[in-house]
Amino acid sequence: MYYKVGLISVAIAVLMNGCVAMEAAGIVGMEIDSAILPPKKQRSYNETTIQRSRSSLEQMLSMGFSKQRAQKALAATGDKGVQLASDWLLSHVHDPLLDDDSPREYIVYLCPVGELQKQLLDMWRKSKQCGWMASHNYFPHVTLCSFFKAENHQVAKLHAALRVSAESLNKDVTEIKLDYFSSCNFIGLFIDDKAIDGLVQVMSQFEKKAASFGVQIRKKKDLHLSLAYQFMPEKIERLEYLARSIELDAPCRWDIRLYSRDSRIAHCSQLRRVIHPHFPRENDELQLIEGDFLSLQADKAVDDNLDEWYEGTSWLTGCSGLFPGNFTEKTAASETWTMHRSYPIIGSSGEWKRVDDQQDIANWDETSSLYERVKRSTLSLNEPTERIPSPHLLKPVDGKAAVFNNFEPLPLKTSSQGPRQLYIVRHGERIDFTFGKEWIDVSFDASGNYIRHDLNMPRSLPKRAPQDFQHDAPLTIQGTFQSRILGEALKDMSISIDHVYVSPSLRCVQTAACLLEALNLEDKLLNIEPALFEYMGWYPSTSPVWMNSNELRKAGYKANLEYVPAKIKLNTNETIDTFYKRSYSIIKKILSETEDKGGNVLVVAHAPSLDSCTRQLVGRPPRTQSEMHEVLTKIPYCSVAVCQQDLNIVDKWQLIEPPIMTFAHTSNPKYVWKALTN
């Protein structure tokens, strides 16, 4: 399993799932028509790569991640952007080695792409009929160096060094000629001397550049592509037949690739793929998520003929525990590697460029789906203790209405005569988390006019200075869709909304507008409340610039011009404790000023709001920063928290089960049409 850039509908903070294609869920810049934008100064690859890594790190630091964790996550995910690195951290929040500084292990492969690769993979799959052998631990490749270690902060330099070294390949090396070789314990393909000389030269330069920043690499000079080794002697005839079926002159492009692996995976005795989910029944059991990988201790191995329990470590979460062996199957060790960079160097046509989206080796949508399952399953296993079922889920007992914590079961459709309900909603997908903060640089011309260059980008934006969007990002098209789906779901459950309060962030205003439109409440006024804004500790240098109510009105949003916001000052040096107290204060004010009119209250704000606005309301103490980060990972876009008032006890509220279903979806990476020209 390899990491690929992709969208994961993920909450900002520190616990788990998905992107995965950051071209769709993350941070990489977008291709646009150069005729539209003014010319930009071209930067070297080395400068661009290092700058992108620094940008990703800065964003993660601003989100509250520690520098050590942010660098570790970026290294573990191939420096593919903030979204994917956040997903990795979110899923590893309970990993006992999360704060361990042990470096990852790296290796450089030469990989075939095209018809030859298809034939090699076909042989690789069919050879499994001859029993598992060492060659099945890795996909077809040529090893260019031994495994080496690099610190997490050196990853960007490593990428740049490989790019520059790959570009130095002798232009006379235009193809690789292969020769078949077979012995009693090895079957493979050897590379011609001319190609070897060129590749060794490339790796010599990479070796030298890496040494300049403290990374020691040992290149290989005996270059070959292994087809089968460590097999049973009686299988050699079948294996030779399969190997000789490969057309050695089949069309092929050769890419030089950098991979890395977790040191725990490197030294495990066996890697297992989860084929059946399992929810722990005892404290020592490991939760199994279908598609995850489990590494076993160096001296252990699963006997597929025995239904026994084994101890393993999850690739997705880093957690360890016992698992039933018959719920897993043996798989290749390289399934868990991260592909950092891939550069076509031999047999490629057209412009020389980096390739990140190799569909033949990396199923990033599956990775994204795995992270989504981590978040959903973790949520189901770690629900807050104060949470109670929604009234419509309570079943009668002995012909009488069920009572849960003194809350009577009531129909979900409520009115001013029934118990009030408070709905707190997180906004939909935001543009900067999807396209990276660089989206502003490529989305406005010299006159400040907005230019749309992706179908997931909004068709238009309110007229304002481009830099004002820096900390006040709008929704994507996907975000507006999520908001409407949520509104339709509330409508289907006959939920009534009587009062609407919204954070001043544009993405929250847009979410509220779309949601209300789906509820047929588009004329409902929006009370814009700055005190509902998210944790100010994420904005240490400057406060966001928001549109005021008059500007929102001109942009087509129903802002209430008569609403007087709370006199609560926002400070850039805000602490977590102060943030929770601020959130509690504004919620009490909102509930108090709507009490006489009665009815349900809708608050559209941010991921932390679902917890910070309800935590003290239900009688719980504020969380610490690490506790808040853990909760945030369970709050994807358009999540809903629902509190219900006790009719018998004044000012008593309780969290209840949200009345609507969850809305999970997979990723959709950016389409690069030029891949078809290779």
- The string of DSSP codes covering 319-373 is -EEEEEGGGEEE--GGGGPEEEEEEEEES--SS-------TTT--HHHHHHHHHH
Q: Which residues of 452-537 form beta strands (DSSP E)?
A: 499-502, 527-528
Examine the pLDDT at 635 and tell me if it is beyond 80: yes
pLDDT digits (tens, 9 = 90+) for 265-276: 877 878 899 988
Residue type, 206: F
Give yes or no for residue 520 having a pLDDT over 70. yes
Q: Is this prediction's pTM over 0.75?
A: no
Query: Which sign does the torsion angle of CA 554, 559, 562, 567 carry?
Result: negative
Query: Measuring CA to CA, which residue among 473, 590, 469 is closest to residue 527?
Result: 590
Count CB-CB contacts under 10 A for residue 273.
Answer: 18
Specify the pLDDT at position 333: 84
| CB-based contact 584:612 (threshold 8 Å) | yes
- In whole angstroms, give the CA distance from residue 648 to residue 654: 13
pLDDT of residue 11: 37
Rounded Cα–Cα distance for residues 510 and 479 (Å) = 9
How does the average pLDDT of the chain come out, rounded? Answer: 81
Interatomic CA distance for residues 109 and 258, integer angstroms: 7
Are 452 and 431 in contact, with CB atoms under 8 Å apart? no
- Lowest mean per-residue pLDDT among 333-337, 428-432, 508-512: 333-337
Pairing status of strand 527-528 against strand 499-502: parallel
Mean pLDDT of 216-223: 93
E strand map for 102-237: 104-113, 142-143, 148-150, 178-182, 186-191, 224-229
Q: Using an 8 Å Cβ cutoff, are 575 and 612 in contact?
A: no
pLDDT at site 361: 35
Q: What angle do CA 168, 174, 175 make, to 5 degrees?
A: 120
* Residue 303 confidence (pLDDT): 67
CATH topology of domain 402-656: Rossmann fold (3.40.50)
Q: Quick one: pLDDT band at residue 494, thresholds 50, 70, 90? A: confident
The pLDDT confidence band at residue 36, using thresholds 50, 70 and 90, is: low
Select the highest-mean-pLDDT range: 19-23, 348-352, 499-503, 634-638: 499-503
CATH number of 104-259+336-360: 3.90.1140.10
- 110 vs 90: which has the higher pLDDT: 110
Here the tokens at position 180 are 């078949």
Question: Residue 302 — left, alpha, or beta (φ > 0 → left; ψ -120 to 50 → alpha)?
Answer: beta
How confident is the model over 239-260, as pLDDT tens digits? Answer: 999 999 999 999 999 999 999 9
How confident is the model at residue 87, as a pLDDT?
85
Give me the residue spans of the domains in the chain: 104-259+336-360, 402-656
Mean pLDDT of 407-416: 35
| Helices and strands of the chain, counted as H and E runs | 18, 19
The catalytic site residues sit at 426-427, 606
How far are the Cα atoms of 134, 166, 277, 326 from residue 329, in angstroms, in the given order?
16, 37, 13, 7
Residue 606's nearest CA partner among 583, 572, 588 is 583
Q: Specify the higher pLDDT residue, 231 or 307.
A: 231
The pLDDT-based confidence of 401 (bands split at 50, 70, 90) is very low
Q: For residues 39 and 48, what is the distance between their CA atoms, to the nearest angstrom?
A: 17
What's the pLDDT score for residue 258? Answer: 95
